[in-house]
Structure formats: C-alpha cells, structure tokens
Amino acid sequence: MYAVGDAVRTRVMNPAGHTRLPVYVRGRPGRIEHVLGALPFPDARAAGVAGAMQTAYTVRFASADLWGVDGDPGAGVCADLFESYLEMR
C-alpha cells in the first residue's frame, strides 16, 4: 500500500487482455496525490473474475516526464491507477 507523497513508477506491461493503465504513462515516474481506497478492479472483471477489489490511487505525473522537452515544465497530468500498476521508485 502506498501513501500520499510516495514516489512511484508505473509498470511496463502489455497484457493480452484488458487493462486500464494508459500506454502513455507506462514506465513513467509519478507521485501519489490521493488514496482512493478499494475499488472494483476492471482488469479482473474483464477476465471473468467478479468482485475483485484493489486499492486505487490518484497519481500525478510531471508533464516533462511524459512528453520530454515538449511538456510544459509547470504542468502535470493526474491519473487514477490501481495498485498492481505501480511500483516504488
């Protein structure tokens, strides 16, 4: 479980089935902004596993970490992501 302020990185993954992890944030560093709590995990549901829950977080990514020199230095993007998509940085 992560806490607000933790530095994380999204996993690099290319599953054969469904995932809610956007391609543009895969492998990118971010910071936990908010703990959303346990929510239904759509990846499991898409695989036919009803009722699977997983902790979700709002993760903030610096624009430059996503788009390099084309990113606005003061801007960022937030994404709500499940725990299995994250690893400690």
Structural domain spans, the chain: 7-88
pLDDT, one tens digit per residue, over 16-45 is: 887 999 999 999 999 999 999 999 999 998
pLDDT, one tens digit per residue, over 37-75 is: 999 999 998 888 888 999 999 999 999 999 998 888 889
CA 2 to chain centre: 12
pLDDT at 77: 96
Is the whole-model pTM more than 0.75? yes
| Architecture (CATH level 2) of domain 7-88 | Roll (2.30)
Residue 46: φ, ψ to 5°: -65, -25
